[in-house]
Structure 1
């Protein structure tokens, strides 16, 4: 078993990490960190469990520790659910101390020597781990993309065999992606907020890195452009994307590409049987009906029309956050980087 920890374990994404790791067949949950006000207390006594899943009683008695290098010294790998302003330095310090970091934070995603990975799309980018080690880092950092980016990339990956140069996307993003709860969430009811800070920039840059080419030393961006418009809507979980791609192939060919798309890996515990699932019904996918497909790891695609136009949906705190990071860790372990 690989000893793992969660940085920022009491937050919304941190709780998802705990849920996914509590009974993981490969990883043993060794450390949970949070702010100083929670340190020293049992996890079960400090967490405000908000997930649509039972609280994992097996980890309730784990003592929460401060978010420091010392707190995770007995871990082989840590998962980071930290805010970017905190994650930047502590993740680098932990990696320098010889511990692997799988981060959901944006801090290191666009670092040229840090892989930004979606296992079904660019597993070869893990080669950047060797670049980090060649530059003297004892551990390493691997990142997963923004919650809306990963839905877009999963929806674009089956289209790689078609020639396209222009991608346009409008998102309808759930409130859990903003960490909204309680009174602060009231702003979204009976409302649509047509701006999410830095979200559009993340989609437009991260997508190109993920779908780019790794030459053994660096990643060259994919040769197409992405234009994004991002919006917050009154949905609890599940990001919906309306996507336009300049693919001229017939819709039947596009549907066949989606139907035949498979993960290159079958041995990863969190890997869904169908990484991408397509719908023929004109009113699907929908967040309430489809966000939990494949234990929340499947991206759903529907309304595929000439143009090319379609709708994509993914669970933002599972496929778009904690689940993506855990799947990356499973790939890292299977590739013997740990």
Structure 2
């Protein structure tokens, strides 16, 4: 029997991606769409300016949007769990209210670094699911909050996980991040045309702290961050979708480049072993061409759920360097949330 889901922030860019990915999903069915007070009471097609390439699914066009409040969602329909696409600035107390009754899978930043909240990438740290029981006991909730990382963090952490067997010591990452990562309407056109903006608020701090938590060790009660030094520099560029990152890694071992490529190509996780519906066959795709990956050519690899790696080479200061590319609103946002929910469902937690 399909699990019924509510989407908070359903009219925004990430909310629309959730709807797109969940359309026809074998396990999950959208039952409630929630948004701000100005959208509440309207049919979804009237409340939402649809901005994705694929048409708005017919199944949601006539659904009445409700206010983003627990009582309104509860009254609208039966719900088994909630996807949150709320802005981080408002998500905190709203998600806590919902978590008192429902599981909440959140893309927002508000609770990512809470000590009892999983920061999940299903291929990387599925054992961190154990924090859910810790959280429930601590907070007395029937539900829980599980979070997905920042978009730029996800693709970095997936590639670093594949390298952990060589002993990751230090990481320097420089990002070239797509405009869609700023939401809609995003960056003003006169700021970004013929330009690169060398600052994204709080992005560097998120990459540095989130990656260490994701790659950390869960001891049954808490996560101990990975003993890795990470330095990030983040930049907004004139690309619609697809974050590109230049990554430099110091390793304890000195693997040959062919060994590094094999580690990337051979990497799989729980979603692949369990054959979860949204999981890509290969979490990491290696391109051998000298000029790949590129956002326009590679962001949709694995239906937008694969991370594409290329230009893997030795580095004279660190050990290796490479480029990685991820679709920031699919693997980096809604797709990550749906994949986390699929893993939790398969584990009997949803």
Whole-angstrom distance in 2 between the partners of 1:140 and 1:86: 18
The answer on 1:311 being equivalent to 2:314 is no
Measure how far apart 1:182 and its partner are.
7.9
From the superposition, tell whether residues 213 and 40 of structure 1 become closer, same or farther in structure 2 (CA, over 3 Å).
Answer: same
Q: Kindly provide the CA deviation profile for residues 243-285 of structure 1, in whole angstroms up to 9, marking residues without a partner as x.
A: 0001332111101111111122332110000111001001001
Paired with 2:245 and 2:325, the residues of 1 have a C-alpha distance of: 6
Which residue number in structure 2 is paired with residue 17 of structure 1?
18
TM-score normalised to structure 2 length: 0.94
Query: Where does residue 249 of structure 1 map in the other structure?
Result: 255
Aligned residue in 2 for 1:175: 179
Partner of 1:293: 301
Q: Secondary structure at the residue paired with 1:201? A: helix
Aligned to 1:280: 288
> d(CA) in 2 for partners of 1:182 and 1:274?
31
The alpha carbon displacement at 1:236 in A equals 0.1
Which of 208, 211, 216 is matched with 2:212 structurally? 208
Aligned counterpart, 2:108: 105
Shift of 1:24: 1.1
**Alignment partner for residue 192 of structure 2, among 178, 185, 188?**
188
SS in 1 for 2:11: coil
* TM-score, normalisation: structure 1: 0.98
Displacement of 1:72: 2.6
Partner of 1:260: 266
The CA deviation at 1:181 is 3.0
Q: 1:13·1:321 contact (CA, 8 Å) conserved in 2?
A: yes
SS in 1 for 2:188: helix
Matches of residues 8-47 of structure 1 in structure 2 within 5 Å? Answer: 8-47=9-48
SS in 2 for 1:101: strand
Query: 1:69 maps to which residue?
Result: 70
Asked if 1:122 corresponds to 2:125, the answer is: yes
Give the distance between the partners of 1:110 and 1:182, measured in 2 at CA: 25
- Partner of 2:160, secondary structure, is helix
**1:186 deviation in Å?**
3.8
Residues 1:224 and 2:232 aligned together: no
Q: C-alpha offsets along residues 264-309 of structure 1, whole Å, 9 cap, x if unaligned?
A: 2332110000111001001001000010111110000000001200
Q: Distance in 2 between matches of 1:70 and 1:259?
A: 47
SS, match of residue 82 in structure 2: strand
- SS of 2:234's equivalent? strand
1:72/1:201 CA distance change after superposition, 3 Å: same
Q: Deviations over 1:97-117 (max 9, x none)?
A: x20000000000000000000
CA deviation after TM superposition for structure 1 residue 164, in Å: 2.3
In the alignment, is the contact (CA less than 8 A) between 1:31 and 1:71 conserved in 2?
Answer: no
Aligned-CA RMSD value:
1.1
- Distance in 1 of aligned mates of 2:347 and 2:154: 22
Structure 1 residues 176 and 182 mapped into 2: Cα distance closer, same or farther (>3 Å)?
Answer: closer
1:143 equivalenced with 2:155 (yes/no): no
Unmatched runs of 5 consecutive residues or more in structure 2: none
**Cα distance change of structure 1 residues 293 and 224 upon mapping to structure 2, 3 Å threshold:** same
Structure 1 residues 259 and 9, CA, compared in 2 at 3 Å: closer, same or farther? same
